[in-house]
Amino acid sequence: MRKVPHFAAYRGVIVLLWALVIYNAVECRGLFWDGSSFLVNLLDRERFHDFYAARAHVDWLTQAPMLLLADAGMRDTRLLAMAYSATLFAVPAALYHFALARVRHHPPLLAAVVAIVAAVYLPTSFFIVGEYNATFAAVTAAMAVTLTTGGRSVRDAAILCVLGALCLRSYEAMVYFGPLLAAAIVWESRRAASPDFGIRVLYALAALAFIGAAVVSAVTIVDYWDHPHFLKVRSTSVDFWQNMQFAIPLAGCVICGAAGLRRPSWLQGRGPLIVLGVVAALLALSPWWRVVHPPSILYPPSHYVARQAAGILLAVLLGGMWLLADRRRDPPAVVAILRETAVSRRLLTLVTALTFAAAVPDIALTRLWAGYLDSVRGLVDERSGIIRAETLPLHDWPNKLFFQDWSFPALSAIVSRTPGKAYVVSDQDYLSNPPFEPECGLLPRLSGYGWRR
């Protein structure tokens, strides 16, 4: 197999990340599901939609540009939706870009970060408004900095403090990411050769920030343990297999991991090429599976369902990065083999191919989303009053991939030339499937706003 130079792989993945940011921004993909409700609420109320304090730091970061644009007088909801989508996608893309840049001189670590983009980020990012997207990217960037800092850089310590502050109130997954990162930071700073006292203090503050994030997440989990929404979330967490975009690369990771642990020399042969090659092919062809097997569809809501399993996979991959960076003289056999130049560069080539394959279903779904958004816009521009959602072909292809009953009013207001002229509203009682935050189910006003052509 011809190996791709690791700098070419690094640049290729970065170009792909930012190309997807631009494409998804133009198609307003940030409006999917909760995104439309979040946007109309912050525009109507003219303040942050940060109802969930435990995730407020990510919300402030991604919503601030919208408030600034609205305050500057922008009233075109199309441009605001594009800007909101751009911000939601740019934050994780920038953090993954930063992580890739930090490890670009270390092929084994670079392969791990590229694998995270392919197996964690792209398969769960259709629900981009979910704070977990930025959180997963932030902890990846934090681990990349920790493992490449040497424990002697004021700049790196300050960066870790900033990332720790972002993660302090970000997502419940910090309950296990926080201790992992704090331990890695302490381990790296203690290995440094007589660092300055001030640098030690900064590293200690960064570690405390990640510990604090774990505490905030733990308290939140306890407080909301019996909340109806959390009960539903826990009951569906095992349904991650419904997300083909996640399940396919996960299967490849599990097979390669199990085979490599059982017989490390397997990683030096053609086994990874065969497994990951098949996985990449299946992933690239996944948008067309429904042609031969109708139930096998790409399903954007499953991105939300798979986020918990994706978090666990990310924790495993971050732990693997830590092992790869540990410079003990007698590492485990599998770690020693993964550090070999030929093996690490071969794996980098394979996971890079997997990343580009993972972009195929992502782009396919975005194209379908653009068509769906056009149909909703045409509907609310042509009619007036309340439009019963049940009278629409909700379960036709591809509508069934994107509709959500309680966010219909928000979406129909955003895409309308005259918000308030027509609303799509579901008949449901909002008890069997309530919005997590009550204001997300209301009819938005958006006075003075409109979708310009």
**Whole-number pLDDT of residue 399:** 87
H or E element: which one contains 133? helix 132-148
Find the mean pLDDT for residues 273-286. 95
CA distance 124 to 132: 9
**Whole-number pLDDT of residue 156:** 92
Confirm if 382 and 375 have CB atoms less than 8 A apart.
no
**Whole-number pLDDT of residue 236:** 78
Q: What is the pLDDT of residues 401-442, one digit of tens each?
A: 898 888 888 999 999 998 888 888 887 665 665 555 555 567
**Whole-number pLDDT of residue 195:** 66
**Whole-number pLDDT of residue 435:** 58
CA distance 370 to 292: 24
Find the mean pLDDT for residues 196-213. 91
Q: What percent of the chain has pLDDT over 70?
A: 94
**Whole-number pLDDT of residue 45:** 87
Q: How confident is the model at residue 162 (pLDDT cuts 50, 70, 90)?
A: very high
Q: What is the pLDDT of residues 217-268, one digit of tens each?
A: 999 998 888 877 777 777 777 888 899 999 999 999 999 999 999 999 999 9
Structure tokens at 241: 């297999």
Q: What percent of the chain has pLDDT over 90?
A: 65
Other C-beta atoms closer than 10 Å to the C-beta of 392 total 17
